[in-house]
Structure 1
Amino acid sequence: MGRCCKCNGRLLCMCLLPCMMTGHLLVYIMVSIFVTISYTPPKITTHFIASGISTNSSNLASHPVGPFWNLRLEDSALWNRLQHAWDRQHNPILRGNTTWITGERKVKLLSEIEDECSSDCISHKCSLPRMHDFNSLPDQMRAFIMAMHCREYPLLINQPGICKRNRSSFGFDSPMLLMAIKSQVGNFENRQAIRETWGRSGLVEGESNKKGGLVRTVFLLGRQDSSTGPHPDLKNLLELENKKYGDILHWDFRDTFFNLTLKDLLFWHWLQEYCPTAMFVFKGDDDVFVRTGALLDYLQKQWDEHNLVKAITNKTDLDLFVGQVIYNAMPNREPSTKYYIPDRFYKGGYPSYAGGGGVVYSGSLALRLKEVSEKVRLFPIDDVYLGMCLHRLGLSPSHHPGFLTFDLPESDRGSPCAYRSVLLVHRRRPKEILTLWKQLQSLPGHC
């Protein structure tokens, strides 16, 4: 410092420069230490989700208690064995091994297992690995197991041009929203109520944003299930219905509860071929009620936000999957229920999934779900299977409080005002759908 004081002019400035830089460095270090000490992580907003079995609150479900996708083999459960084989087959590190040892038992790879299955999915001649007490299982579980290797079925009624129909007159290249409604051959009244109300095809306005969008609706049907008893022949009526409305997709497989998963798979294949540019897909049952205009408003907002993010991050795919989310659910082990899943078929918990009454997801995600489903064994519960496919993509469903797959509180069901914040409600009979639709067209001003 004494030397610096003896300097003058330019020499003085050159001598003082190191001193000033050292001072600035000390200030930077002190500020960094202060910021580090005083930093607190941002508060994460907890959204409402449907209650799970480990819930400590009536409003909030806890986080999943453990990872769903268990790489450890559950050798006594058929689905786990088959999925474990598939996981190894699709794992590039383990793909070279044809067999592996678990305890003292040798487990076959998927390719060996499926070599024993006949390609004839109609007769269900398939020799799957042995399952303890197979004959004691309920009929629907036995039928599912015998056909769970089958993923391709003939399309009896198709709508190859439905996403291109009249598109020039509306000025749209593809639908903003494709409604895929799971129905059955005999549910004529349900389909007609939907066509006349919330599932009407064409240009639909939003409720708050009049922009709206082009909506197309298709109904997903299988073959009448002969195992439930004799049914009247409705083939001619179905053909007349399709001739008039042109919105039926009909496949040649038994339309049972455990085969609802097939409707997802077959629909995704159809979507990829005939409507791959649909912006969003709604998949629901034919006994739900949807406020389509409000749903379009919500989807338009999601699309606008995605475009803003895309401009910054260049991320092209919109990973949107919305419904009423259920965490920490476990298989139903009660044999008398239609959801019964025996532990000798499946062991473990369920992934986070959205209730199957109605969900909405982006069109680009639908195509990714189609691809990943080829690596996930068919599961009898369709909404759980969707959760499995999402999990394999590294995604989780998003909860929206407007999706009420378990209905409104009973005291509110008769009040039109109670539906102002609802996007979907389950269940409603055809007459209730028509009545509610009419009421919501002119909600009272005090709502």
Structure 2
Amino acid sequence: MARCNGKVLCICLLPCVMVGHLLVYILVSICITMSYSPATLPIRFIAPGVSSNSGALAAHPRNPFWNLRIQKGALWNQLQHRLDRQHNPILRGNRSQQASTEGVRPQEGGPQGVSPACSPDQSWAPLLKDFSTLPEQMRDFILSMHCAEYPIVTDQPGVCDGKLRPEEAPMLLLAIKSETGNFENRQAIRQTWGRNGWMQGEAGGRGGLVRTVFLLGKQDPSMGLYADLEKLLEIEKSQHRDILQWDFRDTFYNLTLKDVLFLRWFSQRCPHARFVFKGDDDVFVRTRALLHFLHQQEEETEDEGQNQKKPVRDFLMGEVIANAVPNRQSFTKYYIPESFYKGAYPPYAGGGGVVYTGALALRLGEVSNRVHLFPIDDVYLGMCLHRLGVSPTHHPGFLTFDLPGTDKESPCSYHNIILVHKRSPKEMLRLWSMLKTPPPAC
């Protein structure tokens, strides 16, 4: 009888014990979850120009950049989502999916085939609830962001000697973003680091053929500059033959358009240039040091006793900014409203100056057809790189945010860099002269 009662008692207590174990497990899980906080990466904003110089910082945004799910309420994300579906090889045959834009009307042409006479499209405005409150420059970009083709006003087909043979192509093509009124900047570059022709490498090392072009749009009438600037520009064009100009307004938000049009020009006029440097007209570049560095990047192998050059791997190098998020301060020129774009930025290199292979330039020109124009040019380039699966490479010699204040006047500081930003024409001439002689003991 006692044995029977013991069995009954065990059967009755077993569920209680199991429930007790379950409660303990749940309590332990809750405690672990509450005590665990994942490591957060630092947020890098674009406006202050903070760069990631430490290898300890992962070159990835806090959130996925190329999100497969559409970001509702952000115009650029919706447009890019539709473009991704159009170019998805699996979905390409499904017309119903191609037309699905989740509330955004189909683009008339898009980045692939807009008419040269592209005009502002007012139908974009109702898609942003805060359109009327946005800065004028942002509103102008939104109304014309479907336009990615403009006629070239001034071409320079002879920059690469009019020849497309790889053995006669430039070692380095310098593509400098400029504006109509920046005559002194362009002339200072021509006389210093942007000279056309053969340039010797650093310390008598290997040099190469250098070609320079300046990238211009049409002067923005709202700048209120003198009417005779275009006449002066025509004289400059005929004398130097190094200016590329397109028929679009030269504004900050159109720098992306300038990049895209240059890449398409490059594929037609200079496709075999081994490297491309793209930068602003207020940077100073130690071109000889850059040539020496680029020669180091070119791998050479011996094949059965014969020296053969291997193609250089695709790379883009500069001062890399990682973990960046859009600037939501409406008074800054980098302002991107949340109604236009949501999410983090991919890693990108500061737009003051970057260098990349000619082969990558061709690929960037192709992929730009599949990435919708974005108002900030260096971020847009990062988006295109992300699409190609190429990560920008950080180089400590690219100082797109200038030297520390105490080092600006030290000659030794400039002998260890490749690029420094924000230099006036007079400063360019002084630096060029100073760097001709070896530095004193540092």
The answer as to 2:236 corresponding to 1:241 is yes
User: What is residue 52 of structure 1 aligned with on the other side?
Assistant: 44
Look up the match of 1:204. Answer: 199
- Equivalent residues of 2:326, 2:335 under 8 A apart: yes
Larger mean CA deviation between 263-272 and 60-69 belongs to 60-69
Which residue, out of 118, 124, 133, partners 2:120? 124
Letter of the structure 2 residue corresponding to residue 124 of structure 1: P
Give the equivalent residue in structure 1 for 2:211. Answer: 216
Whether the aligned pair in 2 keeps the contact of 1:280 and 1:363 (CA below 8 Å) is: yes
Matched pairs, number? 391
Q: Distance in 2 between matches of 1:396 and 1:109?
A: 33
Match of 1:296 in 2: 291
Does residue 137 of the first structure (1) align with residue 134 of the second (2)?
yes
Mark the CA change 1:91 to 1:59 in structure 2 (over 3 Å): closer, same or farther.
closer
Residue identity in the other structure for 1:255: D
Q: Is 1:84–2:81 an aligned residue pair? A: yes
Q: 2:146 aligns with which of 126, 136, 149?
A: 149
Give distance in 2, aligned partners of 1:163 and 1:385: 27
RCO higher in structure (CA 8 A, sep ≥6): 2
The separation in 1 between residues aligned to 2:114 and 2:262, in whole angstroms, is: 24
Between the aligned residues of both structures, percent identity stands at 58
- 1:107 counterpart SS class: coil
Q: Which residue of 2 aligns with 1:43?
A: none
| Aligned partner of residue 350 in structure 1, secondary structure | coil
Helix, strand or coil for the counterpart of 2:245?
A: strand
> Which runs of structure 1 show a deviation greater than 3 angstroms over 4 or more consecutive aligned residues?
50-61, 96-101, 104-115, 117-123, 165-168, 228-231, 305-308, 314-317
Unaligned runs of 5+ residues in structure 1 are 1-49
Match for 1:339: what amino acid? Y
Please point out which of 396, 413, 423 is paired with 2:391: 396
> CA, structure 1 residues 209+390, in 2 after alignment: closer, same or farther (shift >3 Å)?
farther
Whole-Å Cα distance in 2 between the matches of residues 315 and 93 of structure 1?
A: 34
Task: Tell me the CA shift for residue 233 of structure 1.
Answer: 2.9
Encode CA deviations 1:337-391: one digit per residue, 9 max, x unaligned.
0000000000001000000000000001000000001000000000000000000
TM-score calculated relative to the size of structure 2: 0.81
Matched, 1:158 2:150: no
- 2:272 & 2:83 partners in 1: Cα distance? 30
Q: Kindly report which structure 2 residues correspond to 1:261-272, keeping only aligned pairs within 5 A, or say none.
A: 261-272=256-267
Cα deviation, residue 61, structure 1: 5.8
RMSD: 3.2
Superposed CA offset, 1:251-282 (max 9, x none): 11000000000111110111111111100000
- The match for 1:258 is 253
Q: Which sections of structure 2, spanning at least 5 residues, go unmatched?
A: 1-41
Aligned pair in 2 of structure 1 residues 288, 144: CA closer, same or farther (>3 Å)? same
Q: Does 1:382 align with 2:377?
A: yes
The whole-number CA distance in structure 2 between the counterparts of 1:105 and 1:266 is 27
Alignment TM-score, normalising by the size of structure 1 = 0.80
**Structure 1 counterpart SS, 2:209:** strand
**Match in the other structure for 1:11:** none
